[in-house]
Amino acid sequence: MAFSLKSVIIPLGLAVFIGSGCSSEEAEQGAKKIEEETKNAANATEEKSKEVADKVKAETPGIIQNMKDTYKESEQKIKDNTLQKGDTATVQKDAYLALTPEVYDELYQLIEVNDIEGVDQFVKEKQVSEISQDSEAEIIERDIRRTKVKMKDSGDEGYLPTSLLEPVK
């Protein structure tokens, strides 16, 4: 960039000096002055560019490390708040523990349509059991919608909505 700038400014400067009636010696001195100023400006620009590049090089490892740390922290938070096999969880509300995945699906279809008699029938047939809020359960298998658990107090195994379970910390 400095080369093209110099190639334009020097002839332009000479033309101005010669056109204004200056001697060729004055024109040469003017051209040298313009060339020197151009060179100084180019050096200053190059120096500033180098400073900026050096600053970016110096800061980049810190930024990358910050991002790595943030990623690891986020990953750990997700892991801490996501139920894994073997974890202990607390049931957040009173619920029904369905003994099989099929009963779970049917039970929650009945609950959606507010079929109290159908839900009572499952209770009478002992295909579900009532679970109290704050009961603890061990996670056996986790799915997005439902989680297979073993209740700590009764030893019953069955399925609860994943959203009702909170990891014990």
pLDDT digits (tens, 9 = 90+) for 43-74: 878 888 888 777 777 777 776 777 777 767 76
Same domain, 95 and 161: yes
Specify the pLDDT at position 31: 74
How many structural domains does the chain have?
2
Specify the pLDDT at position 55: 77
What is the per-residue pLDDT across 153-166, written as a single tens digit (0 to 9) for each?
999 999 999 989 98
Q: How far apart are CA 37 and CA 102, in angstroms?
A: 85
**Structure pTM?**
0.55
Q: What is the mean pLDDT of the chain?
A: 80
Helix axes 24-81, 2-19, angle to 10 degrees: 150
Same domain, 16 and 68: yes
What is the per-residue pLDDT across 112-142, written as a single tens digit (0 to 9) for each?
898 889 889 989 999 999 999 999 999 999 8
Given 81, 113, 146, the domain boundary residue is: 81
Same domain, 132 and 147: yes
Given 81, 107, 124, the domain boundary residue is: 81
Q: How far apart are CA 131 and CA 160, in angstroms?
A: 9
Q: How far apart are CA 63 and CA 168, in angstroms?
A: 34
Summarize the confidence of residues 82-98 as an average pLDDT: 89
Summarize the confidence of residues 92-116 as an average pLDDT: 92
Residue 129 maps to which CATH number? 2.30.30.40
Of 28-37, 88-97, 106-115, give the lowest mean pLDDT range. 28-37
- pLDDT exceeds 90 at position 152: yes
Q: How far apart are CA 56 and CA 9, in angstroms?
A: 33
Fill in the amino acid letter for 6: K
Domain that holds residue 28: 2-81
Given 64, 81, 98, the domain boundary residue is: 81
Report the C-alpha dihedral over residues 54, 59, 61, 67, rounded to 10 degrees.
-150
Q: How is the chain classified by DSSP, letter by letter?
A: -HHHHHHHHHHHHHHHHHHTT--HHHHHHHHHHHHHHHHHHHHHHHHHHHHHHHHHHHHHHHHHHHHHHHHHHHHHHHHHHS--TT-EEEE-S-EEEESSHHHHHHHHHHHHTT-HHHHHHHHHTTSEEEE-TT-EEEEEEE-SSEEEEEETTT--EEEEEGGGEEE--
Specify the pLDDT at position 94: 93
Specify the pLDDT at position 5: 56
